[in-house]
Amino acid sequence: EHSTDGLGDALAIAQHHDAVSGTERLHVANDYALRLSIGYKEAEKVVASSLAVLTTLGNNSVYSCPLLNVSYCPPSEANFTGVKSLIIVVYNPLGWTREEVVRIPVSTENVVVLDSTGSEIESQLLPASNFSSLVKNYHVKAYLGESAVNSGGYWLAFSALVPPLGFSTYIVSNKKGRESRSVLSSIYTSEDF
Amino acid sequence: SGETFEVGEGNLVLLYTKNDGKLTRYSNIRNSVSAAAEQSFKYYTGYNGTDRVFQASGAYVFRPNGTIPINPEGYINFTVIRGPLLDEVHHQLNEWLYQVTRVYKGKEHAEFEYTVGPVPVDDGFGKEIVTQISTGLNTNRTFYTDSNGRDFVKRIRDFRPDWELDVHQPIAGNYYPINLGVYIEDESMEASLLVDRAVGGSSLEDGQIELMLHRRLLNDDSRGVGEALNEEVCILGDCKGLMVQGKCYLRIDKLGEGALWRRRFGQEIYSPLLLAFSEEEESSWL
């Protein structure tokens, strides 16, 4: 019922020399962006259903976060406390193993990160700067017409090891009942120096 | 200690001055590479004009009319965040320019994440914002830029291999498109700067690399587009200039050891890890 055709069309149109070089008019740039966005949303559903099958998440909803770069990601910022845990599927589209630090916005510091075997892995919490909150609100307002769910909060960073052309699964869980939790970063301002 | 402080828990260590938070040195403990590395920001004011008089800077034409440094005296307010996986240095240069520098424990490159905009144009001038990385490398007017992500091509300042170049625009005349990155080298080291998007760039002085991060211009350059490169986002009738956020990555290697990283890591920039999220009951996810 879903396809990647819309994204294919949008990408094809964006091959025009004006799109490539940025010499299109503003209303045309906006049209390129709109078509890419429509294509992305459609393709996102294909990817979500594919990942749900691969990871045996079954009927659970799978989300991507296109505004993750401005720390807007409702699934990870939600209060996944109590019995629910946040599942993160990390897919590697390249043909070699990669180990990289993954960063997601969270609203609480009481979290731990577990790998797919249930073992806790090292993670770090970085406070969101005032400026990044400003940027987040700017984009969320501009593109979604609404205010950001949480300004401030934290970035949760952990190291993901992902096989070639494959995926790894990580779980972010409430720290309740656990001895350790994610390490809060140390902060020094220019005055400290 | 002394006048500087270190950032980075792994092989890569960046040195910053304590009094103004400026980057001064790049050191890789693993391969004993250590080089001066300074970063600065500036903007070029765009020519206001027509196609006949004072050719304007616009979508097609890059024609700077003056160079204005941004906070040349240093960054008064900066913040350092340290942790087990990565360290960050936050610099707020002014109201519309912010940069986070990251050093990951397991990586040997520095990551710069810049946020630029909305660029103010109340003074009647369009602006083209650039950053420069200056090293001590003796590059003899030579630098290398990619060709649409493919081979790196040798560029020589104020020179073309196949015709006699008469330089009228010393900045724009030496600018090249950057899709993957740019690097410089001397007899012992090479410094590479990779990008996550298409930008313009150059090496206007020996040992230095320059990237253009954002452009906001007020005049049509009369080359066909028919409007100024003045992109805006409007929310309920309130229009502001575009805000851009991007990354570039710096690594300094011994001569001949940078090419592998440029190819491999360039591919990783182009094909980042994809994330998807779901939720599950604590007891059932295993």
Q: CB neighbours of A144 closer than 8 A, spacing ≥ 6?
A: A67
- Cα A39 to Cα A11, A43, A65: the distances in Å are 9, 6, 15
pLDDT recorded at residue A133: 81
Q: Give the best residue of A63, A190, A191, A192 to mutate against chain B (max B CB count within 10 A).
A: A190
- Single out the residue of B38, B19, B44 nearest to residue B101, CA to CA: B38
Q: Which of A172-176, B117-121, B235-239 has the highest mean pLDDT?
A: B117-121
pLDDT tens string B160-219:
999 999 999 999 999 999 999 999 999 999 999 999 999 999 999 999 999 999 999 999
Contact A88 B229 (CB under 8 A): no
pLDDT tens string B18-51:
988 999 999 999 999 999 999 999 999 999 887 7
Q: Using CB atoms, which residue from A98, A101, A139 is nearest to B85?
A: A101
Q: Using CB atoms, which residue from A20, A29, A91 is nearest to B274?
A: A91
- On whether any CB of chain A is under 8 Å from the CB of B261, the answer is no
Contact A62 B276 (CB under 8 A): yes
pLDDT recorded at residue B162: 94
Q: Give the best residue of A185, A191, A192 to mutate against chain B (max B CB count within 10 A).
A: A185
pLDDT surpassing 80 at residue B114:
yes
Other C-beta atoms lying within 10 Å of the C-beta of residue A161: 14
pLDDT recorded at residue A160: 97
**CA-to-CA distance for B269 and B113, rounded, in angstroms?**
13
| Unique residue bearing structure tokens 């180990």 | A99
Q: Which of A27-36, A184-193, B70-79 has the highest mean pLDDT?
A: A27-36
Percentage of residues in chain B having pLDDT higher than 90: 82
| Unique residue bearing structure tokens 């912010």 | B98
Set of chain A residues whose Cβ sits within 8 Å of the Cβ of B223: 23
pLDDT surpassing 70 at residue A125:
yes
- Cα A116 to Cα A89, A95, B146: the distances in Å are 10, 21, 40
**What's the rounded mean pLDDT across residues B238-253?**
93
